Amino acid sequence: MCFCYIIPMSSVFGKLFTVSSWGESHGKAVGVVVDGCPAGLPLCVGDIQMYLDRRRPGQNALVTPRKESDKVEILSGIFEGKTTGTPISLLILNEDQRSHDYGDMIQWYRPGHADWTYDMKYGFRDYRGGGRSSARETAGRVAAGAIALKLLSQVCKTEILAWVSSIGNIDSSMPVAEVTREAIEASPVHCPDIHASKEMESVVKDAKENQDSVGGVLTLAIHRPPIAIGEPVFDRVEALLGMAMLSIPACKGFEIGSGFAGARMHGSEHNDPIFAEQKTFHTRTNNAGGVLGGISNGEDIFCRVAFKPTATISRSQDTVSRDGEKGTLVAKGRHDPCVAVRAPVVVECMAALVLADLFLQQRARTNLF
């Protein structure tokens, strides 16, 4: 038997604060190893579990009915309630796999899913729920991001909020400054705008009843971000945030500050006027989204993140088999009718991983002398 050497897929994120993600949708467990977290950070299971509970499936009728407790275990890196500076290993068991639902996917490719491309790349794939390409993998990211959020909150008082600002053709008009964590969590679709939330619920319910799915857009706001982080030229804040968001399954778009709308403006209206207050610089507007030249300027960082409709739906769709045979597929299994609904906590945690890593890089630079 002949084996060829295959370069492993990239499952490591970050440079100093690094995250190694592992596990599949229908394997025994998913998890991460976090390396580079400074020693002495107070950390317990509850600090991580609160974020996993927000991401957990089966919470209401608008998300996948898969039942997972998503209870996290800390296997290493913590002693007497504090980080030791050594790798932190986190484990989340898979408890509610129904792999038999995916028997048809052994030979047939799901339109819009990664079945086809994984086969082309590796010549082999885990068809059960998508394996590594499943959104189940994001549980590990959330667990790691919870640690980054704790670090940023303690050291910089940073607050990161993400919420659903549109689903289908329903948009929220709530100003960013009025959004609160309580309002986000009170909504079944994680939209803080009460009126828009009700309409969004109807859109998601209709998609589910019609055996279809619908896309959505999230807004991300980072209050009190670390100042002067970001590495010109390639590791700019916005470049790494874009990479982090676009690495989330089903994410198809990212913009920061004025984004694409800025392309329709003149410089005279897009430039943010600068003023000084008690020897601290600020801007009167924030079209830049808190980043200039790839470096954070201390203003709030705000972004928009677009998610496509969930690829796996229960409608009959034209497809082909691995052998190229034409056919139709009616996908089975349990799926989110709108993946954007459970995405806010994933977006928050990925943003935290970027900022924590850049913060540690900047601290290493400035504390040398």
Question: Per-residue pLDDT tens for 51-74?
Answer: 999 988 666 667 665 566 889 999
**Is residue 1 very low, low, confident or very high in pLDDT (cuts 50, 70, 90)?**
very low
**Is residue 187 very low, low, confident or very high in pLDDT (cuts 50, 70, 90)?**
very high
* Residue pair 96/27 in contact by the 8 Å Cβ criterion: no
pLDDT digits (tens, 9 = 90+) for 245-296: 999 999 999 999 999 999 999 999 999 999 999 889 999 999 999 999 999 9
Per-residue confidence (pLDDT) for residue 369, from 0 to 100:
43
Per-residue confidence (pLDDT) for residue 105, from 0 to 100:
66
Question: Pairing mode, if any, of strands 78-79 and 82-83?
Answer: antiparallel
**Is residue 96 very low, low, confident or very high in pLDDT (cuts 50, 70, 90)?**
low
pLDDT reading at 98 higher than 60: no
**Is residue 198 very low, low, confident or very high in pLDDT (cuts 50, 70, 90)?**
very high
The residue ranking higher by pLDDT, 67 or 29, is 29
pLDDT reading at 2 higher than 70: no
How many C-beta atoms lie closer than 10 Å to residue 283's C-beta? 17
Give pTM, 2 decimals: 0.90
CA distance 282 to 296: 12
Taking all residues of the chain, what is their mean pLDDT, rounded to a whole number?
89
Superfamily of domain 12-366: Chorismate synthase AroC (3.60.150.10)
